[in-house]
Amino acid sequence: KGAVGKEVYKCVMVFCQQLGCEVVELNVQVDHVHLLVKVPPKLAISELMGVLKGRTAIRLFNVFPYMRKKPFWGNHFWAKGYCVDTVGLNSEMIQKYVKFQEKEELHQQQLQFEQAGGPSLKGR
């Protein structure tokens, strides 16, 4: 959220560029990140993820020192794992998923809330 989310976005963009990767789509959400990136064949995905997660965490803790006091995953910014998949012919579909995932999640939450009998927030 806010400045932290913007810094995560900036870090991912900069570190990907430094590694020779092309960010096709990036969506930073409150508790996770969706990323569609073109990675050169000489770069291991594990190396890319290590750089992104490690250097981004270091940068965030330096820029926002108050975050060191938050109880993240064992005092780390990122969780241990990540999910990776390759994209072939469906790259446009994956790009749309990454771009609109947060909007879709909010829509699904609203539908569940309305089905549970809560007031609708539409039109606000």
- Series of mean pLDDT values for 10-residue runs along the chain (124 residues): 89 93 87 86 92 88 79 64 73 69 65 63 51
Helix (H, G, I), strand (E, B) or coil at 1: coil
One domain, residues 66 and 83: yes
DSSP state of 73: B
Residues 11 and 31 in one domain: yes
- Look at the alpha carbons of 64, 65, 69, 72 in this order and tell me if their dihedral is positive or negative: positive
Q: What does the pLDDT read at residue 124?
A: 46
Does residue 19 lie within any of the structural domains?
yes
Q: Which domain holds residue 81?
A: 3-87
Predicted local distance difference test score (pLDDT) of residue 16:
94
pLDDT the model gives residue 34: 85
**Could you tell me if residue 123 is inside a domain?**
no
Active-site position among 9, 66, 82, 97:
97
Output the six-digit token pair for 84: 């990776």
Q: How many domains, the chain?
A: 2
Residue 66 bears catalytic tag: no
21 and 40 in a single domain? The answer is yes
Residues 62 and 95 in one domain: no
Residue for token pair 């913007």: 6
Residue 14 confidence (pLDDT): 94
